[in-house]
Amino acid sequence: MAINYIPANFDVVRDHTRCIKCRVCERQCSNEVHYYDEELDTMLCNETDCVDCQRCVSLCPTKALKILPNENRFRKNVNWRQQLMVEAYKQAETGGILLSAMGNPEEFPIYWDKLLLNASQVTNPSIDPLREPMETRVFLGKKSNEVKYDSEGDLVLSNTAPHLELSTPIMFSAMSYGSISYNAHASLAKASKELGIFYNTGEGGLHKDFYEYGPNTIVQVASGRFGVHKDYLDTGAAIEIKIGQGAKPGIGGHLPGAKILEDVSRTRMIPMGTDAISPAPHHDIYSIEDLRQLVLSLKEATEYKKPVIVKIAAVHNVAAIASGVARSGADIIAIDGFRGGTGAAPTRIRDNVGIPIELALAQADFRLREEGIRDNVSLVVGGSIRCSTDAVKAVALGADAVYIGTAALLALGCHLCRDCQRGLCNWGIATQKPELVKRLNPEIGYKRLVNIVHAWDHEIKELMGGMGINSIEALRGNRLMLRGVGLNEVELELLGVKHAGTAI
């Protein structure tokens, strides 16, 4: 191209006094940024293709590399930010919609960071989780709201609805085989089994190799119905109907044909090389009544043995939708916030559609309790739970458990370069290229996933102990454990929390 309108995003800074020209950076970069020049006996680079995935930095044996933001700036303009100008140039060049991946990175409020947790002092002793039992186990599903006794006065356990038992209130969110690699799925599956939690197939079906992890698998049924068949439904511990996704509410999905190789094609039950297009809506669901039909069909198909989850994106009317979903016969409602990740989404949608999960969760929980149907369903939230305190705050706002997707990928090595859609993931996660997929050894990956969830569980127990709570059940919806800082009255009311400094 004669005119380069778009400057490189990053500066690849090499300390030549440290570089030993081992060319590891060159071999590891799928974007072909680094190369060796024999004549000059030095490493050179083509910075325009760098996506800042940090693979070269992480593997450089002499720490000779740094990736910094390119400091070149267009003339400052508060209205026309540089990013907007670059996007205009891109669209002028290609005529296409902009694509991005992972979660919304823009500057919207993060309510988790404006909520503070309580701790016990003097009058209500805190609990030391290392000395006393601390319960983080949760059961997801419909809870019976009546207690029955027989004539002898013994408790009658009648027809309890199917449940999912989690050792800790954390699950891996839906990421399809196709959007992420075989080895990423293998890591998630194995880690879930070891942790006693669940991972989610996403829309891509379940690879035959992972049927053995069925008891720790949530199988998803989405609008494309890829990979859905009787054995698939029977194998999972629960079935999730995906209505929407936080990163791209209201639109479907598109896995390019280039990623539909033999295994993905077989798993998705579509021809090799064809684009996998999930429609925006389920074409058989246009009302809560229609949703109920699908929920009941799936229950019928699996003999009412498995809980059904309905996943929706956090949108403006989320509380009313959650109420409808609770009445559709679903056992669990999953709500995905606007920060939720994706393998590819139109940038404009990712960055502008949906609402923060904190508000959506608080409002859905309020509405369900107000209508007396909160116990009919469990609430699971995701997008984006970044650490154990986010999870604890989510539970205090009314969630039964949380979904983590991005955090799990970080454990596998993801550096949030947000370029998944290109399929050239240098960390072997969001790619189907065999030479890249093998970079993620599931033996390493699964242990890292187990570690992160163990660490979070440990922290959750410490935080609960500090609050004088020894069971996660007692924290659920316990908004008195939360206080807001720097929030206005509307925000505090929506969240149902008091401002910091306010006593009980």
Partner 1 sequence: MKKVYVNEEWCLGCHLCEYYCAGMNSGERDLVKAFSREKKPLPRIRVEEGTDVNFAVQCRHCAVPYCVKGCITGALSVNDGVIVCDQTRCVGCLTCVLSCPYGCIVRDEEAHVITKCDLCLSRNATPACVEGCPNKAIVLEDRE
Residue ranges that bind partner 1, judged by CB under 8 A? 17-18, 20, 22-24, 27-28, 59, 61-62, 434-435, 438-439, 441, 443-444
Nearer to partner 1, 22 or 110 (CB): 22
The residue (of 219 and 450) whose beta carbon lies closer to partner 1 is 450
Compute the least distance from the CB of residue 290 to partner 1, in Å.
47
**Are residues 382 and 404 in contact, defined by beta-carbon separation less than 8 angstroms?**
yes
Instruction: Report in angstroms how near the CB of residue 392 gets to partner 1 at its nearest.
Output: 34
Judged by CB, which is closer to partner 1: 17, or 123?
Answer: 17
DSSP secondary-structure letter at 355? -
- Dihedral through CA 334, CA 340, CA 345, CA 349, nearest 10? 90
Q: Give me the residue label for tokens 């989780």.
A: 129
d(CA 413, CA 378): 31
Nearest approach, Cβ of residue 438 and partner 1 (Å):
6
What is the rounded CA–CA span in Å between residue 324 and residue 316?
Answer: 14
- The secondary structure of residue 153, as a DSSP letter, is S
Contact 322, 364 (CB under 8 A): yes
Peptide bond into 181 cis (omega under 30): no
Question: Nearest approach, Cβ of 61 to partner 1 (angstroms)?
Answer: 5
In this complex, which beta carbon is closest to partner 1, that of residue 109 or of residue 434? Answer: 434
Residues 6 or more apart whose Cβ sits within 8 Å of residue 328:
288, 291, 292, 295, 310
Shortest separation between residue 439's beta carbon and partner 1, angstroms: 6
Cβ 56 to partner 1 shortest distance, Å = 11
CA distance 62 to 325: 55
**Choice between 33 and 140, CB closer to partner 1:** 33
Cα 255 to Cα 253: distance, rounded to the nearest angstrom? 7
* Least distance between partner 1 and beta carbon 181 (Å): 14
Q: How far is the CB of 144 from partner 1 (least distance, A)?
A: 48
Question: Closest CB to partner 1 among 59 and 110?
Answer: 59
The letter for the amino acid at 400 is D
**What's the DSSP call for residue 49?**
G
- Distances from the Cα of 67 to the Cαs of 50, 83, 92, 268, 419, in angstroms? 9, 19, 28, 38, 16
Rg (CA), the chain: 24
CB of 421 to partner 1, least distance (A): 23
Which C-beta is closer to partner 1: that of 282 or that of 439? 439
The rounded Cα 188 to chain-centroid distance in angstroms is 13
Q: Which amino acid is at 131?
A: R
Contacts of 264 (CB under 8 A, 6+ apart): 177, 178, 204, 255, 432
73: nearest Cα among 19, 9, 128: 9
Nearer to partner 1, 186 or 475 (CB): 186
- Compare residues 42 and 441 and give the one whose CB is closer to partner 1: 441
